[in-house]
Structure 1
Amino acid sequence: MPLNRRTFLRATAVASGTTAFSGALWQDALAGPAQPGPGPYGPLQAADANGLQLPAGFTGRVVARSMQRVEGTRHTWHPAPDGGACFPDGDGWIYVSNSEVPVVGGVSAVRFDATGKVTSAYRILNGTTLNCAGGATPWGTWLSCEEHDFGLVYETDPRGEKAARPRPAMGRFKHEAAACDPDRRVVYLTEDQSDGCFYRFRPKTWGTLDEGLLEVLVGTGLGPVRWEPVPNPQLWVTPTRSQVSGAMHFKGGEGCYYARGVCYFTTKGDNRVWAYDAGAERLDLAYDDDLVTEGEAPLHGVDNLTGTSSGDLYVAEDGDNMEINMITPDGVVVPFLRVTGHDESEITGPAFSPDGRRLYFSSQRGKSGFVAGTDGHTFEVAGPFRR
């Protein structure tokens, strides 16, 4: 009987133990990619009135629906909600959300007071296309990424007080997500191509993204890697992903999240969560469904991801059974929530409120599954999250 890829990789993982993580979030992990196990919150309960299956002690609500006014405001929520992030705002906070539709994509925001009540909603970016994911900056702006071959990164103001600005020095390619590393003063970037690359942008001045150097990850696989400059990041005939010999190629880059020396990013083509140890300049795997050695892999269709100060990662699924899975610092992967009745949709934009008590995310196409995303649902889950 021939040995398939999953069987081979499982056997390799058992034999070698794979490579242990050296980043701070994984300092207690014994060996290699996360494995299924019991989660910190217990099993999922029956679906609530909004179709959310949550652990005991957690509650959910819908805060916005595509093509409908956000309750208590005159603002109509955008179609196909995608990447998102939260920002502190006085005693409350703001959740921003991209719109992954052509021509009229852009970004909207919804503001909450200290009690979690919606107080306003508004646009912060217009006239862009296919705004997919992005990332928050340490100086309080939202980087919204266009997902097409000549896509740009736009820097936006969550409060809508300052005009959004394109940042072409960060390259023109099929941008997906961004994550800022304040320790090395760089921004990591993923590329949603079947042979996409993993990049970092080194601003000339930290806190200003109008000038700098775009670099691409170079290496031969897991283990030591390095960075090399992209010769022509803005105006090119040869795409950025093909300009540097030896650049590593990934099967559809998706979410990107940095915390305490490690940048995590996902690739949908092989269902992996990667862990780049920035200090050691080393690449490892936080999760790979082919390396689940016992039982069934719970996490499929990896997409956007975020994390908490406790070290837990939250990874959203594009399709499959519409879950957000946790990956804990001790290497356990387990479903945290499931959205029922949204079978033709995907989960997007997971982000925690600044106090870590509420998780926001969207079902991009909602119950209808309509590709234009006119039935998108944006949810809030509140409860005793580990912080």
Structure 2
Amino acid sequence: MSETGSPTSRRQLLARTGAAGIGIAFTGALSELFTGTAAAQNLGHRGYGPLVPDPDGLLDLPRGFRYTVLSREGDRLRSGEGPVPSNHDGMAAFAGRRGRVHLVRNHENRATGRVPVPVIDGLTYDPEGKGGCTALTLDQRGRVLSERVAIAGTAVNCAGGPTPWGTWLTCEETEDRAGTNGYAKDHGYIFEVDGADPRRTGAVPLTAMGRFQHEAIAVDPKRGVVYETEDAFDRPFGLFYRFLPEKPLGGTGSLRAGGRLQAMRVPDVPDLSSIQETGAHFDRVEWVDVPDPLAAETAIRFQDFGPKGITHAQKLEGCYWGGRSVYFVSSFARSSDGSAGDHYGQIWRYDPDRRRLTLVIVFGPDTDIQLPGESPDNICLAPSGGLMVCEDGGGAQHVYGVTRHGEVYALARNRQNRGTDDDPDWGEFAGVTFSPDGRTMYVNVYDPGTTFAVTGPWHR
């Protein structure tokens, strides 16, 4: 999750960059992101209309949309295994039998997690880890049939991503070793989770995919290559990786068989934040073998990648596959933190066929509802052709929709105030995803952990 600054610090940054008073424009080659229908192309600048205040104070939506609360932290898991864990984060939806939907949901609990994932025999990696995943099964009418632990004993499960074979790769956003924060085992791995049958995948770290502060993944369905983002909190910042499995496209057994982990090098670009103009592209992207994927002595981003170095970026977060390319998000960059440049969020596109990297979207601050909020985090493509973005910044928190023409609208606003009337504080959104039939959007509020199902006139 992002560690964003206060509204005051953002205004100071605008002043320093000369942008105060004029705002930061949202720009980008959005047409290459979407392959939507004519209905999606005709969405107006107001999207589905203004948000209607929710009398129950949970979630504001446009008129005609409604939500159902599927799960809240502290409630009892239907399996009887314990309470619903806290810190709801990345999530994906998978098709089940007889029209059912399996939701797999991350819980980004650290060593002091408020409501930890219950320790379950056969599904627990490290009994001292408080994070993990839970799995919900919904019937054809969207009613919750079951809710249970899918993996436990992991740590800081932030995001991840779905695989083409119907499993979820959950990512640990930590580099803590055994003995740190009370952990009994090393952390910083990816684990595979089967939402329909968690015991089939168990709790086995995919060590060849690297040990670092993982954020999200995306799988190339043609080649089986897995792309990975790293959300490192200090300099040098994270890297963008690809994993080449020894046995691609085979599910659990293939990923456990090992492979090669490589990091992206953009020649003469040591820091992606130095690139500010959308449409900027690089045609000589290189991939360099990681010297020590397990980071036995040195964190990967500190390792020696040769005289040409490697390319870093601050706050690498969301990652997804669309069309023939992988897209990844840099949530923000601050020169005051050590980045080469300042921005409020970028989306990059890498085309493996052309080996081309392109900056396609730059985000603006959350000072105007017509601009995407700062610090984009989890992100997904909507079935109708649009882009859904979870905001993780200061102030009010939204799920924004972006049309293929770059028009931005608010789709949802979190109304759960964790602060006071005088000093309000709203939790971020995370884990936005759609049902396999495209009729329901599922999304989490991180804190207090809440999972929503949103239905409405998406065709409009």
CA contact (8 A) 2:29 2:360 kept: no
Q: 1:92 maps to what in 2?
A: 100
Q: Does 1:365 align with 2:438?
A: no
Q: Pairwise mapping of residues 171-190 of structure 1 onto structure 2 (< 5 A)?
A: 171-190=210-229
- Residues 111-168 of structure 1: CA distance to partner in whole angstroms, max 9, x if unpaired? 1011111111111101111111111101111101011025000011112241232101
CA contact (8 A) 2:212 2:295 kept: no
Q: 1:378 maps to what in 2?
A: 451
Distance 1:93 1:236, change over 3 A: same
Q: Pairwise mapping of residues 1-387 of structure 1 onto structure 2 (< 5 A)?
A: 4-5=16-17, 7=19, 20=29, 23=32, 25=34, 38-70=45-77, 74=80, 76-90=83-97, 91-102=99-110, 103-149=129-175, 150-159=187-196, 160-162=198-200, 163-194=202-233, 195-206=237-248, 207=250, 208-210=254-256, 211-219=258-266, 220=269, 221=272, 222-224=280-282, 225-243=285-303, 244=305, 245-270=308-333, 271-278=344-351, 279-290=353-364, 297-320=371-394, 321-342=396-417, 343-366=425-448, 376-386=449-459
Is the strand fraction higher in 1 or 2? 1
CA contact (8 A) 1:26 1:330 kept: no
Q: Following TM superposition, by how much is the alpha carbon of 1:74 offset from its aligned partner in structure 2, in angstroms?
A: 3.4
Counterparts of 2:312 and 2:442 in 1: how far apart (Å)?
A: 31
Counterparts of 1:12 and 1:46 in 2: how far apart (Å)?
A: 28
User: Please, what TM-score do these two structures have when normalized by structure 1?
Assistant: 0.85
Q: Following TM superposition, by how much is the alpha carbon of 1:26 offset from its aligned partner in structure 2, in angstroms?
A: 7.8
Q: Following TM superposition, by how much is the alpha carbon of 1:24 offset from its aligned partner in structure 2, in angstroms?
A: 5.5
Q: Which runs of 5+ in 2 are unaligned?
A: 1-13, 38-43, 111-128, 176-186, 273-279, 334-343, 418-424
Counterparts of 1:4 and 1:346 in 2: how far apart (Å)?
A: 27
- The count of residues paired between Structure 1 and Structure 2 equals 363
User: Please, what TM-score do these two structures have when normalized by structure 2?
Assistant: 0.72
Q: In terms of mean alpha carbon deviation, does 49-58 or 220-229 score higher?
A: 220-229
Identity %: 36
Q: In terms of mean alpha carbon deviation, does 176-185 or 165-174 score higher?
A: 176-185
CA contact (8 A) 1:19 1:284 kept: no
Cα RMSD (Å)? 2.9
Counterparts of 2:290 and 2:69 in 1: how far apart (Å)?
A: 43
Which amino acid in structure 2 is aligned with residue 218 of structure 1?
Answer: R
CA contact (8 A) 1:59 1:383 kept: yes
- Residue 25 of structure 1 aligns to a residue whose secondary structure is coil
Distance 1:296 1:379, change over 3 A: closer
Which amino acid in structure 2 is aligned with residue 324 of structure 1?
Answer: V
- Residue 380 of structure 1 aligns to a residue whose secondary structure is strand
Q: In terms of mean alpha carbon deviation, does 280-289 or 249-258 score higher?
A: 280-289
Distance 1:326 1:27, change over 3 A: closer
Distance 1:338 1:213, change over 3 A: same
Structure (1 or 2) with the larger CA radius of gyration: 2
Distance 1:108 1:13, change over 3 A: closer
CA contact (8 A) 1:133 1:177 kept: yes
- Residues 305-331 of structure 1: CA distance to partner in whole angstroms, max 9, x if unpaired? 111233311111124311011122222
- Residues 285-341 of structure 1: CA distance to partner in whole angstroms, max 9, x if unpaired? 34323599x996331221111112333111111243110111222222322111113
Q: Following TM superposition, by how much is the alpha carbon of 1:235 offset from its aligned partner in structure 2, in angstroms?
A: 3.7
Q: Following TM superposition, by how much is the alpha carbon of 1:256 offset from its aligned partner in structure 2, in angstroms?
A: 1.1
CA contact (8 A) 2:215 2:228 kept: yes
- Residue 169 of structure 1 aligns to a residue whose secondary structure is helix
- Residue 297 of structure 2 aligns to a residue whose secondary structure is coil
Q: Following TM superposition, by how much is the alpha carbon of 1:27 offset from its aligned partner in structure 2, in angstroms?
A: 11
